[in-house]
Amino acid sequence: LSGCDSGFGQATARHLDIMGFRVFASVLDLQSPGAQELRRSCSPRLTLLQMDLTKTEDIQRVLQHIQAHTDSTGLWGLVNNAGFNDTIADAELSPLGKFRTCMEVNFFGSLELTKGLLPLLRSASGRIVTVSSPAGDMPFPCLAAYGASKAALSLVMDTFRSELQPWGIKVSLILPGYYKTGTTCDPAFWNLHKQQLLASLPQELLQAYGEDYVEEINQQFIQFMKVAVEDLSAVVNSITDGLLAANPAVRYYPGQGLGIMYFIHRYLPYFVRDLFLKGFFINPKLPRALRREHHNNSK
């Protein structure tokens, strides 16, 4: 189970431990408050492992540990939960490096871990449950770097699902709504990254969009996250169902508002969906270069 420092990973690790499972929980930092909380609240069956999904040596170390402890039994389930995003900005304003980091953690890291554990999963005809995002299915404003990595993740897991059927492995995707997890609801975290983004933007882009434009989208995002759900149980229950149900769903949609969002996405014209996503999530004002007063001033 990856990404157990906080949020879904931490809550799921605790839940599975209470149910009596032997849980291998990976965290970014063994000394983090989340890791210490798991040590305190879980049984000795739970093993905490340090893993940074961008580091092959970390992944290999975890694979060796799990292999050594499950060789005779195989591994029943893998939960890919770790995820990363620290940028709220238009795709044009998001540095290429941010796209790369999202891909490294959310896609390549999860892919490497999954491929490494597949021999053990095949021997147990086990389960793979992966936490993706509706942002990987739809073009949420200002989430291109994160969304693109989750789109890639969803697709590769869907491919595994059909390819691993002969082995008896069942693969499920979890597409949660808006929950308070980790740093997602900490305004200080987002303000710091907004300042770093503004400092790194080329002058021409800053002129075209305007500093106030970047401020505004970040403010809207922070406002939006204030209504995020604190109770993570719907997601934990979906992950648990994916691991334990005789016939788990291919996709789980825990959270509010997702039904109407996917209905609009599938059945209504694109412009309706785009309007809905802006109204629901972030509705950027016009970039500076397109505002009327700017045109009037420059004449």
pLDDT digits (tens, 9 = 90+) for 68-86: 999 888 899 999 999 999 9
Range 7-182+230-267 classified under CATH 3.40.50.720: yes
- d(C-alpha 30, C-alpha 27), whole Å: 6
At 299 the pLDDT is: 52
At 292 the pLDDT is: 76
Is 146 in the active site? Answer: yes
| Residue 286 near residue 147 (C-beta atoms within 8 A) | no
- Sheet strands (E) in the chain: 24-27, 47-50, 77-80, 127-131, 170-174, 251-252
Q: What is the pLDDT of residues 34-67, one digit of tens each?
A: 999 999 999 999 999 999 999 999 999 999 999 9
The structure's pTM equals 0.94
Tell me the domain boundaries of the chain: 7-182+230-267
User: Looking at this protein, which amino acid is placed at residue 297?
Assistant: N
Beta bridge partners of 26: 49
Q: Would you place residue 272 in the very low, low, confident or very high pLDDT band (cuts 50, 70, 90)?
A: very high
At 298 the pLDDT is: 57
Q: What is the mean pLDDT of residues 108-137?
A: 97
Q: Would you place residue 225 in the very low, low, confident or very high pLDDT band (cuts 50, 70, 90)?
A: confident
Does the pLDDT value for residue 226 go beyond 90?
Answer: no
Average pLDDT, the chain: 94
Of 146, 178, 179, 253, catalytic: 146
Q: What is the pLDDT of residues 149-190, one digit of tens each?
A: 999 999 999 999 999 999 999 999 999 999 988 777 788 899
Q: How far is residue 45 from each of residues 26, 77, 90, 212, 292, measured CA to CA in Å? A: 14, 16, 45, 51, 64
Q: What is the pLDDT of residues 183-217, one digit of tens each?
A: 777 888 999 999 999 999 999 999 999 999 999 99
- In this structure, the dihedral spanned by the alpha carbons of residues 50, 11, 127 and 47, taken in order and rounded to 10 degrees, is 40
